[in-house]
A and B are shown apart, each in its own frame.
Chain A
Amino acid sequence: MSGFSVELRELTKVFGTSHGPGNEVVAVRDVNLGIHPGEFFTLLGPSGCGKTTTLRLIGGFEMPTRGEIFIEGEPMSHVPPYRRPVNIVFQNYALFPHLTVAQNVAFGPTIKGVPRAERERRVQEALALVRLPNIGNRKPSQLSGGQQQRVALARALINEPAVLLLDEPLGALDLKLRKQMQSELKHLQQQVGITFIYVTHDQEEALTMSDRIAVMNEGQVLQVGDPVTIYERPSCRFVADFIGETNFLRAQVVGKERDRICLCVAGERVWAGATEEPLREGQEVTLAIRPEKIDLLSAAQANGAALTGVVREVVYLGTDTRFVVILPSGETVVARLQNIGGHGLGEFAAGDRVKLLWAAEDARPLTG
């Protein structure tokens, strides 16, 4: 027993095409993941990264080309979807249009032969759980998108699955409803204690809801970690770029201290946090630093290790102001300053010479 709720071992899915060999598409490549019981686990990535295919492999809607899927310790690769202890919420909900809401929710228990009285009780409970009582007699077409989404959730949860799979379930909702459903989903998950595997391309959604996130691209898992790790310590350029906004600067390793590294960027010396992997002196790296971690000072004020540049653009964003700064090397850096006490807004204008400062641990040298 692995102790994982869901475990993927070297999972690979190759889609062939009808146009003969040589046109295969590798949708999922050697994915290894262990998902803990009761965890809210998110597969995050751009469209076409293989996250939905991974979810469909777990659900049993696709058969893996290689590798194995374990659900609660049992190998599942060749078990059809109707015998797997998982349920899925589809992006378009896939509610049965010819059945009422109550019949939709009762579908799973009906198939399993649960007696009528018990079935009706459980339907009431499931609809109450998603806060949708008293609409059992309506047809799905008479419901709003948000209501359909809740019905789809109730229809899955009524079966008390070991794992609930969610394929971009909030993608079709408007922004306000999406925010509300995010927190509701999270609470619901904590309430029922079921493992959730959640697919999304929305990094903010992933950060706010997940216990852990796996970032995927081109069929591979690039990094697995909790939201803070993913955001603060991205393992590679793709992760840093996909989640939030990041400045990337060409840099060369100059020297090392105990917990920080000295780099040369655009001819100036700057500091960055130490990395897990050892860096040699003279090595070319990419320095990643998020806009909100950078502070600006007028060039005359500051001294010490800092980059100097010229402000090219100032954009007011309400809570923050966004500055685009050009370095002598021609690279651009974006900095965001909060509009507090006169710092930021109005302090610098296009054409001003500024110094860019940050705390060493907020900047990360990336080799990948």
Chain B
Amino acid sequence: MRDTRSRLLILITPPALLLIMFFVLPMLNMATFSFRQGAFGEERHMWTLAHYREFLRNTAFQRLLGRSIAMAFETSLYCIILAYPLAYFLIFRAGERRVALLTLVLVPAWTSFLLRILAWKLILSSEGLLSGLLQAVGLLAEPKPVLLYSRAAVVVALTYSWLPFVALPIFAALERIDPHLLEAAADLGCPPWRAFLRVTLPLSLPGVVAGFFFVFIPTLGEWVTPALVGGVDGIMYGNIIQDQFVRGLNWPMGALMSLVMLLAMLVLLGLLVWLLKALHVELGDLIG
């Protein structure tokens, strides 16, 4: 009895220590920082709620958070819309070539993230691929950047970057579906589209949700992509957090804004999980 307990303790200590040192403590540090007057000197030891008041007063911060949530949501949605048919094709139509083709989808993700975003910057620039194409078909009179430095450019670049990470969990979820289930659905009277709605879609939903999380979470805090292709229009919440730390040197405000983002994320994802659970029960009656 004591033996198993001590063994459990030995097993659990290293990961627990790791979590405490690199997750719990930094989080607590960040939370405490949000109450400090400033980051340096005397101000470091003065406690205040001023930053909270400032955050609540500053509607620009709130609007930007709302906009970033919308952009993260859109990016995740576009990723799913593009990745689902891709994964579906690989599983149900590509046959023996499915793994080779999936690898091709993943290969771009092996290069640097920064490199891929910079590539998009080139594609969208005035001398870029898109501008050239539009000129060739006569839709553009002279070399001009297309979409560059806009909200849309950020969403396009992010959707491109995250696509493989959504395709992968959907691919895995679809691969796990027993082909006999689709035959059973057909046998019980389902034409292909109803079998898709009643069997394939609900069974692949865990992969879709996983893909959504993979994109939504990092995209909400994204600041590199908007900094490179977003311009003034494409700015995201992550950019002003970065500003607080690097330019404004207002660390307590940056800490507070990070905390707010974390909270918003938890609430949104919790809501999504709850919604899916509630929906799942009646899903069959809602569709097809």
Using a CB–CB cutoff of 8 Å, the interface residues on chain A facing chain B are 18, 59-61, 80-82, 86-88, 90, 92, 94-99, 103, 107-108, 110-112, 155-156, 159
Q: A18-B95, A98-B203 are in contact. Are A87 and B186 (CB under 8 A)?
A: no
| Bound CA span A96–B187, Å | 13
Main secondary structure of the interface of B (DSSP, over half): helix
Q: A18-B96, A98-B203 are in contact. Are A82 and B180 (CB under 8 A)?
A: no
Q: A18-B96, A99-B284 are in contact. Are A94 and B188 (CB under 8 A)?
A: no
Name the residue of chain A whose CB is nearest to the CB of B189: A111
**Ranked 3 nearest A-B pairs via Cβ:** A94-B180, A111-B189, A108-B188
Q: Add 19 more A-B contacts to A111-B188, A155-B188 (CB < 8 A).
A: A18-B95, A61-B183, A61-B186, A61-B187, A80-B186, A80-B191, A81-B183, A81-B187, A82-B189, A87-B188, A88-B184, A92-B180, A94-B184, A96-B199, A99-B284, A103-B284, A107-B188, A107-B198, A108-B189
- Which residues of B sit under 8 angstroms from A159, Cβ to Cβ? 188-189
- Cβ of B202 < 8 Å from any Cβ of A? yes
- Which residues of B sit under 8 angstroms from A96, Cβ to Cβ? 181, 184-185, 199
Q: Mark B117-159, 1 if CB is under 8 A from A, else 0.
A: 0000000000000000000000000000000000000000000
- Cβ of B190 < 8 Å from any Cβ of A? yes
Report, as a range, how many residues of chain B touch the other chain.
Answer: 20 to 34
- Which residues of B sit under 8 angstroms from A80, Cβ to Cβ? 186, 191
- Cβ of B194 < 8 Å from any Cβ of A? yes
Interchain CB contact under 8 A, B190 and A111: yes
Name the residue of chain B whose CB is nearest to the CB of A56: B183
- Which residues of A sit under 8 angstroms from B96, Cβ to Cβ? 18
Shortest CB–CB separation between residue B187 and chain A, in angstroms? 5
- Which residues of B sit under 8 angstroms from A87, Cβ to Cβ? 187-188
Name the residue of chain A whose CB is nearest to the CB of B97: A18
- Which residues of A sit under 8 angstroms from B202, Cβ to Cβ? 98
Shortest CB–CB separation between residue A55 and chain B, in angstroms? 12
Name the residue of chain A whose CB is nearest to the CB of B283: A98
Shortest CB–CB separation between residue B278 and chain A, in angstroms? 15
- Which residues of A sit under 8 angstroms from B95, Cβ to Cβ? 18
| Bound CA span A98–B203, Å | 7
- Cβ of B178 < 8 Å from any Cβ of A? yes
| Bound CA span A82–B288, Å | 15
| Bound CA span A107–B96, Å | 32
Interchain CB contact under 8 A, B187 and A82: yes
- Which residues of B sit under 8 angstroms from A88, Cβ to Cβ? 183-184, 187
| Bound CA span A96–B181, Å | 7
Name the residue of chain A whose CB is nearest to the CB of B182: A94
Q: Which of B183, B188, B198, B284 has the most CB of A within 10 A?
A: B188
| Bound CA span A355–B184, Å | 57
| Bound CA span A107–B199, Å | 11
Shortest CB–CB separation between residue B287 and chain A, in angstroms? 12
Q: Mark B194-237, 1 if CB is under 8 A from A, else 0.
A: 10001100110000000000000000000000000000000000
Interchain CB contact under 8 A, A82 and B183: no
